[in-house]
Structures are given as C-alpha cells and as structure tokens.
Amino acid sequence: MTEKLAILWPEIFLFIGTCLVMLTGQWPSRAIRQFTPWICATALLLAFFAAMTSPPTQGMFPAIVPYAKMIIATVGIMILMLLSGTVDRQLETDVDNGKPFQSIRSNRGEFYAFFMFSLTGLMLTASADDLIWLFLALELTSLPTYIMVAVSREEDSALEASVKYFFLGALGAAIFLYGFALIYGATGSTNLNEIATVFANDGISSIGMIGMLIAVIGVSFKIAAVPMHFYTPDVYQGAASPVSAMLAFVPKTAGFLALMFLLGTVGWKGGHLPIELEATLWIMAALTMTVGNILALLQSSVKRILAYSSIAHSGYMLVGIIAGPGAKGGAFYQNGLAAVLFYLFTYGVMTVGTFAVLASLEHRNGREADHIDDIRGICKSHPVLGWTFVITVLSTLGFPPLLGFIGKLGLFSSGISAGHYALIVVLGINSAIAACYYLRLVAVAYIDDSEKSGDPVYATPFFMRPLAGLVSAGGVILFMIMSGPIVDGALNAATYNAPEQIDHDHDDHHAHDESHDDEVALLDD
Amino acid sequence: MMTSSLINSFTSSIATLAPDAAGHAAHAEPGAIAAGPNWVLLIPFLPFAAFTLNALYAAFGVKSKLPAWTTVATLAGSFLATLAMFMNFDGTPYTVQAFEWFNLHYGDKSFVANFSFYIDTLTIYWMLFVTGLATLIALYASEYMSHDVGQGYNRFFAAFALFVVSMACLVMGDNLLMLYLGWEGVGLCSYLLIGYFYKKPSAVAAAKKAFIVNRIGDLGLALGVYLTFVHFGTVQYAELFSNETLQSYIAAASHGDFGSIPGEAQWIALLLMIGAFGKSAQFPLYVWLPDAMEGPTPVSALIHAATMVTAGIYLIARMYPVFIVSENALPIVAWIGTITAFLAATIGMAQFDIKRIMAYSTVSQLGYMFAGLGFLTPTGGAYHVLTHAFFKALLFLCCGAVMHGFAGQLDLRKLSGLWKVPGWRIVSIGMLIGCINLAGVPFTAGYFSKDTILAEAFVTPGYAFLGWVLLLTAGMTAYYTFRVFFRVFVGPVEYHPGDELHDHDHDHGHGEEHHHDAGQHGDHHANHFHPHAPGWAINTVLIILTGCSILATGLYFVGGDKDAHTKHYADTMVSESSASYHSHYGTHAFEYYEKDPEHYPEPGHGPRGSIDKALSMPITGGDPHKMMYYISGVIGFVGILLAALLHGPKGLGGLFLGARTNASECKMDAIAKRFGPIPRWAENKWYVDELYHAIFVKPLRIISHVFHWVDKLLVDGIVNVFGFLPRVFAWIIRPSQSGVLQGYAVSMAGGLAIILFVVLVIVARAGGAS
C-alpha cells in the first residue's frame, strides 16, 4: 500500500486542491474567489514536483508515471490559464455593479473543482494497474468534462453539446466496460499484470480477444477515433474554446494511456500485436486520420476544423501504438510508444495555443470567435495573437522545424522501423491533405487583409488567455530547441517489459527442479 | 549568441533522433590541434551583439545615430581582439570552439563540423584588414548614411554588422561548412545592402542580379564541399590538410603524376573554383559586381571592393593543397583571372560613371589576384588583396564623398577641378594617393603587390603570354585611373549636381533660406547648388585610409622571416599557412629532383611546368622581380601620361600635356570618334549583359512559359483531380455528421459491429489460413 501511495502523491495534491477550490469558489469575499485558480495552479505545481520524484513501479510500464504526470501537470497549468474567465462573467459584472454575491448563481467552485477532478482522473489513469481502477479513472476523467461543457457557455448549444457528449460517453463507457468484463471472464483477473501473464502463458482465448477488441474500440471514444469520433465536432463547437482545448488534451491522453496499458497485456511480440488487434487498430488509424482530415476541408468553423484535426491526430498517434515499443533499448525513432507519449505532450502544448487565440477574441455581443472570418488578418489587427496562431497551427501541421515536426517525425520513423509501410503512406497522404486546411488557417490569419465582412472581433478582457497562447507558442519554440530532455523522458517512459512467459514444457518435465526454472528465467531475461 | 545556441540545441536534439548519434565522446583524432584562448570568440560575437542591438533599435524605432556608434564600437573591439590574436600568435595554428554544431558518428565514419574557428596566419592576415576596414567604413557610413537616420539607418547597420559576423565565419571557420555558412551570410548581407534603396527599381534589380549570379557559384561551392566530404571524409581544415590521402596526392602531383590522382579529387578544386568565381566576380560571373554599385557607397567600399569579393581568393588560398592536386584547376584560375583583368579594364576605360569605373577596376584587380593564385604565388595574390583593400576602399570612399556632396553626381563629364573647391582637399589628396597605388606608380604598395604577380607570370613556365596581357592591362589601369583624376579633381572648377537631392542639403542650411518641396529641387539647384563638403567622420576615415595606403608600402620591407625564407609580412603570413606553396609542394619537387634527376619530367609537365617553377630561382640565377620593377614602372607612367595627354587640363594639373578647358570636352572625344563604334561597345560593356540575356534569360523564359502551360494544363489538372477527391469524399461522408444524437449512437454501435465483423471474420480467417 505504501508503495502505491508513493506514486499517488500528485493525485493527492490535486485532490486537496480540489476540496479547497470547492470552498473558495463560493466564498463571499471576492479576493478569495479570485484566488481559486491560483490554488489550482499551486496544486498542479506541487503535483508536478511530486511526479518528478515518483519511484518506478512494478509491471509492464515501470517508468511511465513520472513522465505522464509531469506532462499532464504542465499542460494542465496551460489549460488552467486558458480557463480564466470562462464562468461567472455575468455574475462578477453584477457584483461590480453593486448587486450582492449569490453563491447559488456561481459556477466557479464547481468549474475549477471539476477541472481538477478531471486531471486527477487523468493522473490516476497513468497510475492504473487494474481494469477496475482504469475504468474508474477514465470515468473520473470524463464525467466532470460533461458538466464543464454545459456550464462553459450560457447558450443552448453548450447544453446540447453536453447532453450529446454525456450520452455518447456513457455508451462508449458501456462498450469498453463490456470489453473489460469479457477480459475478466477470460482471464479471471482484473489486474493488468496478471492478465498479461495469463495471456502470455495460456494464449489469448477467443473471449479474451473479443473482450480486448471491444475494450480497445470502446476506449477509442476517449481519443475520438473512428468509429467513436462522431461527437467530437459538435462538442468542441458547443463548448467554450478553453474547454474545447481541455477536451482535446485530457480525454485523449487518458485514452492513449489506457490503450497502451490494455495492449501491453497482449504485447508486441516480434514487433507485432496479435493479428486481430493489429488489423483493428490499422483500420481505425487509417480511417480516423482520413475521415478527420477530409471532413476538416469543408468546414468554415475554426473550432470544427480543430475538432477534425484532433480526430486526425488520434489517427496519427495510433500509428505509434501499432508500431509498439520496438526492440528493447532502441532509440526514440524506433519506439512508437515513446513517439506517442512525446506527441501527446506536443499536441497538448500546440492545441492550447490555437484555442487560446480563439478564446481571446470575441464579438461585441460576447459571442466567441469561431468562424474563419473572425481570424481574418489577425496578424495585423492583433499581432501577438496572430503570430501565436500562425506558430501553433504550423506546428500542428508538423511544419519543420517546429515542435510538431519532431513529434510527427517520431511517429513516421517508428512506423517505418516497425515495417508498417502501407500505413506510413496513408499517414503521408493525410499529412498532405491536412496541409490544405492548416495552411488555409495560416493564410487567412497572416496574409489576408481584405475588408472584413460582418461582425468584427475584439480582444477579451482576460489577460491570462492570450498569455496562455504566448506560453504555448513560446513552448513550441522552446521545446523545439530543447526537445532533447523530453524525447529522452518519453523514451524512458515508454520502457515496456513484456510479461514473463513461464515455459510449460519445462514446468511439466522438471516440475520439481526449481533451480532449473531459475536458470530459464535468467535466460529469458 | 542566441541564434547560435538555438541552432546548436536544435541540431543536437535532432541528433538525439539519429541512430547512434549521441554519446560518442570526441576522441583524439588525427589532425586534432590545440585549443586556443576563448577570447578569440569576441571577434565574431562582438559584431553579432551589434547586429542584435541594431535589430532591437529597429524594433523600438530608434531615431538617432546610436546604431552607428554601437557598430563602430563593437567593430573596433573586434579589430582590437584580432590585433591581440595577431600579437599572441606563436606560429602554431589552433582552434577555438564556440559550441558543438554537427557531431554525427555512424559506423566507422563521422561528420564533424563544429562552430569552431581555425586560427592560423592566413586567418589573422585576412581578419586584420576585414575588421580594421569594417571599423573605419562604419565610421564613414555614420555620416554618409545620416540622411536616413531612423529605420533605414538601423537596417543599414544591422546588415553591416551581420556582414562582419558572416565574414568572420567565412574566414575564421575551422571547416568548410562554416565557410559555407559565412559565404551565404555575406551573400545575404550583400543582397540586403545592394537593395538598400529598395524603392529604386534599379537597386532592386541589381540586388537580385547579384543574388542570382552568386547562386551559380554557390552551387559549385556546395558541390565542392560535398565532394570534399565524400572523398576525404572530413570537412575540417586541420584534418583535411593532414589527411594521408591528400598528402599522397600532393606527393604524386609534385612529380607531375596526375594520372594517379582520382578524377573525383581533382574535381573538388574545379567545383570550389566556380564558387570562388561567383563570389569574386570573375569571368563569366562578374556581371553582378558593377551593378552592385547601386548600394550605398560604404557598402561598395567594404563589401564589393575590399572584403567580400576577396572571399574567392581566400577560398583558393585556404584550399591550396586541394588545388595543387588538380591538374587543370590552377591553370584555369590563371587564364580566367587574366581574361577578367583585361576585359574589365577595357570596359573601365570607356565608362563615365566614376563609381562604375572603380567597380570595373575592382573586377580587373580581382582578376590579377586570381592570376597570382594561378601562377602558383598565393603570396602575390594575398598581398594584392591587402594593398587593394586599402587603396580601393579609399578610392570608393572618395567617390562616395563626391557622390554625397554633389547630390549623386558621378559623371566625370559633369565634374571638374574639385581640388580647388573649398573643403574638398582631403578627398582630392585621398583620391590621388589611391590612384597612384592603383596605377602602380613605383614605390607604392599597389606597385609592389602587382609586381609580385606580374613577375611570377614570367617565372612560371607557360604563362608568359598571360604576363604580357597583364602588363598591358596594367597600363590600361593606369590610364583609366588617372582619367578619373585628371577630369574630376584638377582643371577648371565646374560642377553640376546630380538628381539625387538629399533633404539634408537644406537641413544643414548652406545659407539657403528658402524651403521648397522636392518637385522644385531640380530647377533651383542648377543655379543655387552648393556642394556639401564632407564632415569630420568622412574626413577622418579618408585621412586614416590615405595613411594606411601609404604605410602599406612599408609592409613590403618588414615582417620577413629569414629562417622561413620569406621576404615580407604578407609572404610570412601566407607561407606559414595552408596556402603555402613551397612547404606543401616545392619540397616534394626538390626531393624528387635530388633523388632522381634523370627521370625528372620534361618541362611542361606538372601543373603546367610547376616543377621548373620550384627550381626556377637556381635556374635563372637572378631575381626576375627586379626586372619587373622597371618594366611595370615604365608602363604605369605611360598610362598616366596618356591619361594626362588625353584628359588633363591645361597647366600643372594636366602635367603640361593636357588641353582641357571645361568639364565635358577633352582631346579623347576626337580620338574616340576615330575608333568607330569600339568605344561605344566598350561603354556598353561589350554587350555581355545583353548576350547573357539572349543566351540564358530569353531561352529560360521561353522554357518557363512552356512549362507554365504544361504545369497549368497537365500537372495542375492532375493535382486538382487529386485535390478534388478528398472534397468529394468529404461530401459523401459529411451526412454522417448529422448532429442527431441517436444517429451518432447507432453509427458508433454499427461501426463497432462492422470492425468486429471485418476483423474477426475476414482478417483473422485470412491470417489464420496463411
């Protein structure tokens, strides 16, 4: 238990923070109310440092915890900056005008608490070593986001998005829970390491395989992969931009961690998953990126474009999952899991910046910027936001030498070294298609200086939002320069210990020869 | 500093991705040499600081002379550091590493090119005049550019400082990649500064021309660097020059055995040579340099006369060991250099724009330097680089002062007698000193350095014809140089302002009370024009440079090293570097001769008889240089007297030979008529630009039109179909995003079912069967 505790300190700090913000968010004193985000930030910082010192764990992914929680805390802080001013704007204006503070009208406490709950769930996902734990952690990640979508905007579309997201999320959860149940039925254990041992020794039974397939497809709801992607554009568009940014990073990270843990139980033997899983993921990856990219071509809503881009990126990252960890002690360019872990961070940093630009612009009536006309020529009208947008979008496109390029390079090279050439061709074609709409965004923001038609956009009064964008754009540049440590961290985190296979022939013939068994184990090492 | 560490970290992070890249500690390699003191890094980084600051000034819209003072101060610091480097140099080359750049190891091979500086005598020799002249010219520019104080001023000095940084990388880099970096850097700065007046179409066209013509040369350089790496496995000088393969080639070349040297190795020099021809404006790539005079005059003086254009000579001198193993490279260099020198001189004789005359003169003098390299006297080439840097910078700055003071007037038919105009004495004296140097009047620095090259032409067998051509060119040089002096600086006072009227003519007053707008300038200036005499900054620089040009003569008599058999400063500095001809080459020849005189090859073998060259001193028994003193001195005087006769004014100003009484008419006009169309052809630069236009530009344009239509109709058509397909798909699958909750749920469940079906029934069956 204590060893479990040792890796759970980040979650504990976040939970303490969560309890505090539920109180301070409702506090009658305005200063304390406004202190709420700072408590979140403090908790995230503490979690970051606690994660840094996390000891290695037993099992398949011994070193994943520190890296995963550190990137969660880092991107979490960036999202937190972006969330400023999302809720209670009207209420605080009323308080300014002399009306008394009504805690019943305030959403601040819940909003930040749910944000923290979600991140706690995400970190718990990274710590998971059990199917039950994994399920609970995944749901703890997702459930708060349903409500955050609803309260993020005082518009019907937000409620509609929230309801859609909730029902479809529940369906997705039901699917992967069903898969988990089948896996439990096939192996008699919910512990991932034990499941892995059973799979390794007894082979994968049909029930177990069907369970794995259903679980993998169900979890793909979190990463918005085909065929679970339908909700994405509607929800992203319905939610306020800061919450959309969060949706692009938090559930996706949870989903990919869960996928890694699930697939770890069957393992990448000789660089390949079992044929059924590989085929499933192959189809999903190819379809996800293709559907995401080509549907993005037709959109005129920037948030929908980014939603489809989010879908496409899940497809890219699935390539890394299929490629697997490669040979032990291999380099970054051979390790698909390291590429995915690196790309998750990369994607988080870039996406926050892009959404930050949208969140920093609004129409006179308070409607936030969304249509592609709203960002027309912002490099001239709002240079800081404009350049943030250009840098982050180019990085998302994978424009060399920006951060996104380094991430995509890892995915490409790991796929090539695993021998999935056809998939790499699909990935290449998709990157080319993606360039169409990313470059359109850049061109509209940078080049276009035609007269704006319709409603002009103005900067929001929240200083933290453009700052989040700046941090993100700065991060794209900074981490591009200093990608070395993060690459090394991702490579280390992706260390995968295949479950030990106990040789049954030896067991049968030398059932009592324990010393010989030890020798075999040594040889296996 | 930031950019550099940025590149470093980026490349190292890429290196992390590369197989087996990191982790190989630098082990002692052959050719590894001692590390030098770190303060040497100040030489490139001080100007870099100036560049950064100037860029910041531009960002904050500084409107003062601050950028000039920043640049002058840092460049002076850079010069002092170079001087300290010179003083502290103990004869052993060393390297100083700023940071690791490329350090890739794969298999048993490696590609190492660090951001390091290689310091030997050649480096110091070059950097001394580069930083020294850059400091002086920056000071000059502080006044010259003063009409543009503001954004233009910031931009100018930012590019100016960046130029010095790039030049430092080029000259000091310890590998060919650094040289390439600097090479492209100076090219960029040259482009930026030629196009400084970017609202002037001719300046923009000139900038583009310079950039594009240089592309051709740079392609050669890039291929040469690549081939060097492929063949010798390194691009670092220290390793390259101690490379055993190269040493064996040199040994083979020293007894004329070029057959045993692989063609690949011989091609390296030919490719590098193309790069050198582009950057140093040699035939047929010289056409950009005269047009480059569209840039502000300080730029012409520093970049397009004294420093950047000598990069080609530096490249060949630095890579001399590679050039002497190529059978044809140095002979081609000698021929092209001579052709360029002669051709440019003929054009220079017929021009009327004094800055253009100086530009052609630069091309011509660069030709001399290349010829020197080709005549196996890198010393002569490098010595002429140094003296030429001083006197040509001086000449340009004097022309610039004229241009600055007479509202852009550069036509020698519209200026006369500046010597007598108040405030112009310093400029006139500077011009005179520059002219006698360029004309090769005895006992000037230009005379000694040119003689070294000319004498070697007759010493080195096979080049006597080129020697005569160069002697003729020397006479022509003296003629066109003093043509400018006799017409512009002596004689009756007469001047007409040019059409570039700077606002500051009024800001400074000059007693003119009336303020009128730009449209009226022309009308009034004809009557009320007052030349704007140079101020203290320009005069100071001119005085210093005049002094330097005079003192440069002294360099011929000091700095020799008896032990090393070197005669003077330049000889010492060049002979102790990789450009040394004797140590690398001559020794082998002597050894070979002493060992086996019987099989000593016939004259004419070797690089066109180079063995005889190595032995020429004992064979001829006398010093051919002494003969040349008299011959070239006489030819120089003939050229000057001819100029005096044809262009000089009456009286002392025309050496009592001339008869000119006004600015626009002289004896030459009548003579020119008798030559028929030839002077007009020369004035039109022998129509080389038009020829290039017809041979290269026109056909390319036609081809580009053809491809345009092929591209538009065929390629675009195909691409558009492919570009259209995703949209078609998008239209097809778009209805799936109906927005209806139930629809989504059914789709999710259906998708799950389909995938399970496909995987379990089809893929697993097929997989199981196979």
Q: Going by DSSP bridges, is the β-strand pair A457-459/B415-416 parallel, antiparallel, or unpaired?
A: unpaired
Dump pLDDT digits (tens) for A56-75.
Answer: 888 889 899 999 999 999 99
Q: Are the C-beta atoms of residues A372 and A358 closer than 8 Å to each other?
A: no
Asked if A484 lies within 8 A of B13 by C-beta distance, the reply is yes
Asked if B10 lies within 8 A of A409 by C-beta distance, the reply is no
Residue A338's Cβ-side half-sphere holds a number of Cα atoms within 13 Å equal to: 31
Q: Which of B345-359, B480-494, B578-592 has the lowest mean pLDDT?
A: B578-592
| pLDDT score, position B1 | 40
Asked if B755 lies within 8 A of A210 by C-beta distance, the reply is no
Distance in angstroms (rounded) separating the CA atoms of residues B134 and B381: 21
Which of residues B689 and A320 earns the better pLDDT score? Answer: A320
Instruction: With cut-offs at 50, 70 and 90, classify the pLDDT of residue A503.
Output: low
| pLDDT score, position B490 | 86
Q: Which of A292, A166, A174, A135 is nearest to A226 (CA)?
A: A292
Dump pLDDT digits (tens) for B569-608.
Answer: 888 888 778 777 654 444 445 555 555 555 544 443 333 3
Distance in angstroms (rounded) separating the CA atoms of residues A14 and A115: 10
Please list, in sequence order, all residues whose beta carbon lies within 8 angstroms of the beta carbon of residue B130, skipping any fewer than 6 positions away. Answer: B164, B167, B168, B171, B306, B307
Q: Which of A411-415, B126-130, B144-148, B659-663 has the lowest mean pLDDT?
A: B659-663
CB-neighbour burial class of residue B99 (10 A; exposed 0-12, middle 13-18, buried 19+)? middle
Asked if A227 lies within 8 A of B759 by C-beta distance, the reply is no
CA distance A160 to chain B (A): 10
Q: Are the C-beta atoms of residues A415 and A423 closer than 8 Å to each other?
A: yes
Asked if A297 lies within 8 A of B736 by C-beta distance, the reply is no
Q: Chain A residues with CB inside 8 Å of B744's CB? A: 164, 168, 230-231
CA distance A480 to chain B (A): 7
Distance in angstroms (rounded) separating the CA atoms of residues B183 and B279: 8
DSSP-derived 3-state class of residue A259: helix
Asked if A297 lies within 8 A of B726 by C-beta distance, the reply is yes
Q: Give the nearest chain A residue to B16 (CA atoms).
A: A484
Q: Are the C-beta atoms of residues A13 and A50 closer than 8 Å to each other?
A: yes
Instruction: With cut-offs at 50, 70 and 90, classify the pLDDT of residue B32.
Output: low
Interface with chain A: mutation pick from B6, B11, B16, highest number of A CBs within 10 Å? B16
Q: Give the nearest chain A residue to B756 (CA atoms).
A: A213
CA distance B760 to chain A (A): 7
Asked if A276 lies within 8 A of B12 by C-beta distance, the reply is no
Mean pLDDT of B9-23: 40
pLDDT(A392) > 50: yes
Interface contact A203, partner B, CB < 8 A:
no
Q: How many CB atoms lie within 10 A of CB B690?
A: 12
Q: Chain B residues with CB inside 8 Å of A163's CB? A: 741
Candidate from B17, B756, B764 with C-beta closest to A409: B17
Interface contact A233, partner B, CB < 8 A:
yes
Cα separation of the two ends of chain B: 60
CB-neighbour burial class of residue B408 (10 A; exposed 0-12, middle 13-18, buried 19+)? middle
Distance in angstroms (rounded) separating the CA atoms of residues B466 and B459: 12
Q: Which of A496, A500, A523 is nearest to A268 (CA)?
A: A496
Q: Chain B residues with CB inside 8 Å of A281's CB? A: none
Q: How far is CA A75 from CA A146, A351, B79, B321, in A?
A: 20, 10, 49, 56
| pLDDT score, position A512 | 47
DSSP class of residue B605 equals B
Instruction: With cut-offs at 50, 70 and 90, classify the pLDDT of residue B112.
Output: confident
Window 303-332 of A: residues touching B by CB (8 A cutoff) are 331-332
Dump pLDDT digits (tens) for B247-276.
Answer: 888 888 777 778 888 888 999 999 999 999
Asked if B739 lies within 8 A of A234 by C-beta distance, the reply is yes
Q: Are the C-beta atoms of residues A411 and A270 closer than 8 Å to each other?
A: no
Instruction: With cut-offs at 50, 70 and 90, classify the pLDDT of residue B283.
Output: confident
DSSP-derived 3-state class of residue A27: coil
Distance in angstroms (rounded) separating the CA atoms of residues A384 and A173: 41
CA distance B750 to chain A (A): 8
CA distance A142 to chain B (A): 18
Distance in angstroms (rounded) separating the CA atoms of residues A505 and B406: 102
Q: Which of A396-405, B83-92, B414-423, B673-682 has the lowest mean pLDDT?
A: B673-682
Q: Are the C-beta atoms of residues B501 and B467 closer than 8 Å to each other?
A: no
Q: Are the C-beta atoms of residues A194 and A169 closer than 8 Å to each other?
A: no
Distance in angstroms (rounded) separating the CA atoms of residues B74 and A488: 40
Distance in angstroms (rounded) separating the CA atoms of residues A315 and A292: 8
Residues of chain B above pLDDT 70, percent: 85
Interface of B with A (CB under 8 A): 6, 9-10, 12-14, 16-20, 723, 726-727, 729-731, 733-734, 736-737, 739, 741, 743-745, 747-752, 754-756, 758-760, 763-764, 767
Instruction: With cut-offs at 50, 70 and 90, classify the pLDDT of residue B44.
Output: very high
Q: Which of A108-122, A403-417, B686-700 has the lowest mean pLDDT?
A: B686-700
Token representation of residue A193: 């390491």
Mean pLDDT of A31-59: 91
Interface contact A226, partner B, CB < 8 A:
yes
Token representation of residue B684: 């039109």
Query: Per DSSP, what are the bridge partners of residue B102?
Result: B113
Interface contact A291, partner B, CB < 8 A:
yes
Dump pLDDT digits (tens) for B745-761.
Answer: 888 889 999 988 888 88
Distance in angstroms (rounded) separating the CA atoms of residues B707 and B692: 21
Asked if B727 lies within 8 A of A298 by C-beta distance, the reply is yes
CA distance A414 to chain B (A): 11
pLDDT(A165) > 90: yes
ipTM score: 0.85
Which of residues B593 and A291 earns the better pLDDT score? Answer: A291
Asked if B730 lies within 8 A of A163 by C-beta distance, the reply is no
| pLDDT score, position B268 | 93
Asked if B19 lies within 8 A of A333 by C-beta distance, the reply is yes
Interface contact A488, partner B, CB < 8 A:
yes
Which of residues B622 and A19 earns the better pLDDT score? Answer: A19
Asked if B763 lies within 8 A of A275 by C-beta distance, the reply is yes
Q: Are the C-beta atoms of residues B588 and B610 closer than 8 Å to each other?
A: no
pLDDT(A328) > 60: yes
CA distance B154 to chain A (A): 22
Asked if B751 lies within 8 A of A227 by C-beta distance, the reply is yes
Asked if B741 lies within 8 A of A163 by C-beta distance, the reply is yes
Please list, in sequence order, all residues whose beta carbon lies within 8 angstroms of the beta carbon of residue B573, skipping any fewer than 6 positions away. Answer: B121, B122, B124, B125, B382, B559
Q: Which of B124, B5, B86, B398 is nearest to A482 (CA)?
A: B5
Please list, in sequence order, all residues whose beta carbon lies within 8 angstroms of the beta carbon of residue A394, skipping any fewer than 6 positions away. Answer: A402, A404, A438, A442
Mean pLDDT of A396-410: 90
Helices B121-144 and B66-88: crossing angle, nearest 10°? 160
DSSP string, B451-504: HHHHHHHHHSTT-HHHHHHHHHHHHHHHHHHHHHIIIIISSS-EE---S---TH
Residues of chain B above pLDDT 90, percent: 29
Instruction: With cut-offs at 50, 70 and 90, classify the pLDDT of residue A277.
Output: very high
Q: Domain spans of chain B?
A: 738-770
Distance in angstroms (rounded) separating the CA atoms of residues B480 and B636: 11
Residue B752's Cβ-side half-sphere holds a number of Cα atoms within 13 Å equal to: 26
pLDDT(B516) > 50: no
DSSP class of residue A457 equals E
Q: Chain B residues with CB inside 8 Å of A312's CB? A: none
Please list, in sequence order, all residues whose beta carbon lies within 8 angstroms of the beta carbon of residue A200, skipping any fewer than 6 positions away. Answer: A267, A498, A499, A500, A501
Distance in angstroms (rounded) separating the CA atoms of residues B586 and B642: 42
What average pLDDT does chain A have? 89
Q: Which helix (H) or strand (E) holds A444?
A: helix A421-446
Dump pLDDT digits (tens) for B703-761.
Answer: 888 888 888 888 778 877 777 777 787 788 777 777 788 888 888 889 999 988 888 88
Distance in angstroms (rounded) separating the CA atoms of residues B761 and B758: 6
Backbone angles phi, psi at B421, to 5 degrees: -75, 130
Residues of chain A above pLDDT 70, percent: 94
Q: Which of A281, A306, A286 is nearest to A296 (CA)?
A: A306
Mean pLDDT of B97-104: 82
| pLDDT score, position B614 | 47
| pLDDT score, position B327 | 84
| pLDDT score, position A59 | 81
Q: Which of A110-119, B169-178, B587-596 has the lowest mean pLDDT?
A: B587-596
CB-neighbour burial class of residue B107 (10 A; exposed 0-12, middle 13-18, buried 19+)? exposed
Candidate from B726, B743, B755 with C-beta closest to A217: B755
Asked if A163 lies within 8 A of B760 by C-beta distance, the reply is no
Q: Are the C-beta atoms of residues B165 and B51 closer than 8 Å to each other?
A: yes
Chain mean position to CA B20: 39
CA distance A199 to chain B (A): 18
Query: A469: left (phi > 0), else alpha (psi -120 to 50), else beta?
Result: alpha
Asked if B752 lies within 8 A of A214 by C-beta distance, the reply is yes
Q: Chain B residues with CB inside 8 Å of A164's CB? A: 741, 744
Q: Chain B residues with CB inside 8 Å of A290's CB? A: 729
DSSP class of residue B644 equals H
Token representation of residue A429: 């074609």
Q: Give the nearest chain B residue to A179 (CA atoms).
A: B752
Q: Are the C-beta atoms of residues B243 and B229 closer than 8 Å to each other?
A: no
Q: Chain A residues with CB inside 8 Å of B753's CB? A: none
Q: Chain B residues with CB inside 8 Å of A406's CB? A: 13-14, 17
Dump pLDDT digits (tens) for A422-480.
Answer: 999 999 999 988 988 899 899 888 877 666 666 788 888 888 999 999 999 999 999 88
Which of residues B118 and B378 earns the better pLDDT score? Answer: B118
What average pLDDT does chain B have? 81
Mean pLDDT of B503-518: 40
Q: How many CB atoms lie within 10 A of CB B49?
A: 18
Please list, in sequence order, all residues whose beta carbon lies within 8 angstroms of the beta carbon of residue B532, skipping any fewer than 6 positions away. Answer: B404, B405, B406, B407, B502, B504, B505, B508, B510
Instruction: Compute the C-alpha angle B472/B474/B480, nearest 5°.
Output: 105
Mean pLDDT of B133-155: 89
Distance in angstroms (rounded) separating the CA atoms of residues A82 and A91: 19
Cβ pairs bridging A and B (under 8 Å): 123
